[in-house]
Amino acid sequence: MGADVAIAWIGTSGKVSGNFPSVSGFEGFSTDPSEQTGHYFAFELDKQYEGREITVIGAKTAKARSRYWVIRLDALYEDSKKLTVKDGGSVIFDLDFTPATLAEAV
C-alpha cells in the first residue's frame, strides 16, 4: 500500500483513499502466477476474531479462520470497489475503495 493510503471511518463503514502501487512477483499471495501481480490491501482483525470463520465479500468471496488478510484489489476495481468483512452473519466493517487509485505498473 502507498504511504498515503488512509481510511475515513463513519461507524463500521470506511472510505479508502490514496494510491496503491502495482506489485509484481508477489508469490506469498498466490501460487497462481496471474494473481502475483496487481494491487494489494492488507489488514489485521482484532484478537477477538482469532479462530473464528471470517468471510470477506468483494469481487469474490473468501472464507478463512484468520485475522490476517491480503486482498488483491484488481478484480474489486472491475466490480463494485466495495468490500465487506463478516464474522458469521454480522458485518465487522465495510470498505469503499472508490476514492482510492491503482497505480499503473512501471
Chain position carrying cell 463478516? 86
For residue 1, pLDDT over 80 is answered with no
Mean residue pLDDT of the chain comes to 91
Report, as an integer, the average pLDDT of 25-39: 87
Q: How far apart are the first and last CA of the chain?
A: 16
* pLDDT at residue number 69: 94
**Per-residue pLDDT tens for 48-100?**
999 999 999 998 899 999 999 999 998 888 888 999 999 998 999 999 999 99
* pLDDT at residue number 106: 65
- CATH class of the 6-102 domain in this structure: mainly beta
